[in-house]
Amino acid sequence: MGGTSEKMINVTVKVWRQRNKNEKGTFETHDMKGVSTDMSFLEMFDVLNERLINEGKDPVAFDHDCREGICGMCSMYINGRPHGPKNAVTTCQLHMRSFSDGDTIVVEPWRSSAFPVVKDLVVERAAFDRIIAAGGFVSVNTGNAKDANNILIPKPEADEAFNAAACIGCGACVAACKNGSAMLFVSAKVSQLALLPQGKVEAQKRVLDMVHQMDIEGFGNCTNTGACEAECPKGISLENIARMNREYVFASANEKK
């Protein structure tokens, strides 16, 4: 790693500090000198935290797990955009080479009433779990594993469902949306199952229950700005929201109650 393209830059990090859910937070400014452009954004935070620990101060709390762009934990709103200035990457896949010497970088947690701040940059995304629990599954009889390809699925459908299933539930769509809407997430989860024969059986109940739970959680309403799609690190398409709208309208009309 490294090579000839590596540079050392100085940046100023303005980071949100908040002790807990109930206390009011504030910005804290740190000068970061000699940051390698080969560092990932989270590694830059690791360096900052080592320094804070050495100084006997409280390190900045932030969520991270896989650091390879697939777990969806690293929720940082960087310079006015979820996951920072690059498209189709998570914060852990963002590198300091995307910034210039002398930059001031503002880092905030996701802002949504449905994602309360736990500490600093850590938000609780249990609302997403509750939406999944409301219907984001296929009911099956457990027992012996079924043969693969028991049900034949055409490649285009399989691809479409897979694209929807690429959602890692990071919440960038909610963070990016000016209305704090979770429709891109919910629509991806509705679509990945609705597109497949196994999921079609419960499709109507699923969309009703998941949208109902989404509304209970206090997410905002979609106004089709497309900000979610543009900021999604996994490129989840707005087509999924249209599919969910469609499914929801038909499911509501079909309801027997």
Binding stretches for other proteins (CB under 8 A): 14, 27, 77, 79-81, 85, 106, 108, 111-114, 176, 178-181, 183, 208, 211-212, 214-215, 218-227, 230-231, 238-239, 241-249, 252, 255, 257
Cβ at position 27, least distance to other proteins in Å: 7
Cβ at position 147, least distance to other proteins in Å: 33
Nearer to other proteins, 152 or 253 (CB): 253
Burial class (CB in 10 A: 0-12, 13-18, 19+), 21: exposed
**How many Cβ atoms sit within 10 Å of the Cβ of residue 37?**
17
Cβ at position 150, least distance to other proteins in Å: 30
Pairing type for strands 104-108 and 8-17 reads parallel
Q: Which is it for the CA torsion 147, 148, 152, 158, positive or negative?
A: positive
Cβ at position 93, least distance to other proteins in Å: 17
Nearer to other proteins, 9 or 241 (CB): 241
Closest by CA to 87, choosing from 5, 189, 2, 172, is 172
Reduced to 3 states (helix: H, G, I; strand: E, B; else coil), residue 192 is helix
Cβ at position 75, least distance to other proteins in Å: 13
Nearer to other proteins, 36 or 77 (CB): 77
- CA triple 191-195-198, angle to 5 deg: 115
Reduced to 3 states (helix: H, G, I; strand: E, B; else coil), residue 234 is coil
Closest by CA to 118, choosing from 217, 25, 213, 216, is 25
Nearer to other proteins, 24 or 33 (CB): 24
Cβ at position 242, least distance to other proteins in Å: 3
Question: What is the DSSP code (8-state) at residue 181?
Answer: B
Continuous segment of H or E residues that includes residue 34 = strand 26-36
Nearer to other proteins, 12 or 79 (CB): 79
Nearer to other proteins, 53 or 126 (CB): 126
Cβ at position 119, least distance to other proteins in Å: 15
Q: Residue 136: what are its φ and ψ, rounded to 5°?
A: -80, 50
Tokens of 153: 């699925």
Nearer to other proteins, 108 or 120 (CB): 108
